Each structure stands twice: as C-alpha cells, then as structure tokens.
A and B are shown apart, each in its own frame.
Chain A
Amino acid sequence: MSERIEDQPLTIAGREFTSRLLVGTGKYRDFDEASRAIAASAAEIVTFAVRRTNLGQDADEPNLLDVIPPSRYTLLPNTAGCYTARDAVRTCKLARELLDGHKLVKLEVLGDDGTLYPNVVETLKAAEELLADGFDVMVYTSDDPIVARELERMGCCAIMPLGSLIGSGHGIQNPHNLRLIVEQSQVPVLVDAGIGTASDAALAMELGCDAVLMNSAIAHARDPEGMANAMRKAVEAGREAFLAGRMPRRQSAEPSSPFAGRING
C-alpha cells in the first residue's frame, strides 16, 4: 500500500494552526456579512487595518475587534496603505499598543497607488527595524526569490509573495517563481494577493505553498459566505493534492484501461 503523508500543522512564529486559509476583513457590506464569511472560511488568522478613529463616532457603534475577538482569532494587523518604511513601522507600533503587546504583524510597504506593488527597498528597511524591535514579521513581497531569501535570512517568520496585483483577482501569474520560493524557504510561504477564485487557491497549495491569504476574492463574491466555504475546500484540496503528489505529466496518451483482453485483440 502506498504511504500517505500526514499533514503537519501550519506553524507561524511558534504558533500552530490547523487552517491554511487566512482572510481579511475589508470590503464587506457590513460586520454581519464579514462575520459569516470569516466563520465559513474556518480561518484562524484574520487580518485588519489600522486607521485614524472617526472622531465624533457613535460610542455604541460596534468595533471590528468585537466581530473578530482576539480571544478567538489570531489577529494580524497589516500596514496596508503605507508607502514608506517609517509609516509601516509606526503602524506596527500602534497595532502593538492597540492589541496590548501583540507582536505578529503583516508588513506591506507599497510602491504606488496604481499597482499597489510592494516596494521591496522600503520593505527590507521596515523589516529590519521591526525585527530588531521584537516583532514577528510576516512579509508581503514580490515573487522575486532573491528578495524572498533575503527577507527570510533577516528573520521574517513568513514570506508572502503576491500571486498577482492586490485586489486584481488575476490569480497566480508566475507559478514558476512561487515554486522557486517554496523550494528554497524554511519558513512558511503564503500567497498573499491576487487570488480570484477557488482554483487559484488550490493552485497555490498544489505548488507547495503553506497557506493562502485573501480578502477581495471572498468579500467581492456575489455570495461571500458561499465563496468562503469554497475557498476553505480549495485550500484543503490543494494541500491534500500537494501531499499526495501529482502524477507526472506525459507528452503522449496512456490508456487507463488495459490493452490486454480486448475483444478485437
């Protein structure tokens, strides 16, 4: 009998997770929709953004952290919207204060408004400063394996290359680079942007990625809860396919039914 490879938990910064799907909390119509979609995704790690309070807001208005309580989820504050290392570091420090000493952050330093492509120069600077300050840094980056290797060498706890542009839904545009990053990395590799539908998530996992992080693909689906459910299954299926080991690709056909014993033989 063939040997089955039992999966190990996803380990990030010393913490173990069963789910390999991480989800964001942006772009939902309301907290109720977000809450139902996050529950359907079965995600254990949930990202959020840090922004100025709307002064004069209703004191009774629900807070995002009531919807995704830190007691139930591992919260992952991001630095979305930061274009410099300085702003990203400030944002992480604010997040740490907001969450009473929480160290795990998603670092993203963007290059421009049009592409939201990572600015790797600023990302490297910010990572260095955050790591020296004791943060556990999961880092959004390009799919450049040399940059990914450097971020890992510096001490980032997860490397998160884009599949395609943030919010584009264009899926995985360079599976070959992703595979190079997966093969060289000792820390978890997560596809962090560009997932559009379930097959994109499955492909990321089949390539050997350790997990997938997404927001728009679920929040902008016609039925976010339904899509969250689909993504949960896609990530699980992709992971199982990766562990099971795909058949080799062949140039020619090979029949599945035996030739021997055919009635016209």
Chain B
Amino acid sequence: MQIQLNGDTKQLAGETTVGELVVALDLAGRRIAVEVNEEIVPRSQHDAIRLAEGDRVEIVHAIGGG
C-alpha cells in the first residue's frame, strides 16, 4: 500500500493504523500532531484510524520560529 507521508511517497507493508505508523517512524511518545487527508487525527484516535491507499499523512512538531 502506498501513502504520501510529509510530501513523500511511502510504501506500507500491509494494513497499518496511524499509531503503528507513528511507532514505525520512532515517533512514539514524542510531541507531534498527525493529519490525514487534511483532517486532524487526535492522539486518542491514533490506534483506531487505519490508513488507506493514497492517504496524505502529515506529521508535524514544534520548531523555532517567530
């Protein structure tokens, strides 16, 4: 299955939840926010939401800015 992750194409082995993707990216427990197809996926829903072919996923964090 193929998704767009932070603007890049990414292959997923099989059925994957948002939570599993976050763990696979070594981002578990970090201060991040996730959006799928321009909709926020609340932290509490990470393990419930399954990704689908062609999903556009954004994972963001805080960085320095003014």
A residues apposed to B, CB below 8 Å: 23-28, 34, 47-53, 55-56, 59, 63-65, 75, 77-78, 80, 90, 93-98, 166, 213-216, 219
- Could you say which interface size class chain B belongs to? 20 to 34
Are B31 and A63 within 8 A (Cβ)?
Answer: yes
**In the complex with contacts A65-B31, A98-B33, A80-B66 CB distance below 8 A:** yes
Question: Could you count the A-B residue pairs with CB atoms below 8 Å apart for me: how many are there?
Answer: 101
Q: Which residues of B contact A96 (CB under 8 A)?
A: 40
**Residues of chain B having any CB pair with chain A under 8 Å:** 5-7, 25-27, 30-35, 38, 40, 42-43, 58-66
User: Chain A CB within 10 Å — which of B5, B42, B58, B64 has the most?
Assistant: B64
Q: Which residues of A contact B6 (CB under 8 A)?
A: 52-53, 55
B61 with A93: CB separation less than 8 A = no
Return the contact of A64 from the options B34, B43, B63 (Cβ within 8 A).
B63
Q: Are A64 and B64 in contact (CB under 8 A)?
A: yes
User: DSSP majority for the A interface?
Assistant: mixed
CA distance A215 to B60 in the complex (A): 22
A51 to B26 Cα, complex, angstroms? 17
A215: nearest chain-B partner, CB-CB: B66
Tell me which residues across on chain A come within 8 A of B25, comparing CB atoms: 53, 55-56
Q: List 11 A-B contacts (CB under 8 A).
A: A24-B65, A28-B64, A49-B63, A50-B60, A50-B61, A53-B61, A55-B25, A64-B61, A78-B65, A94-B58, A98-B62
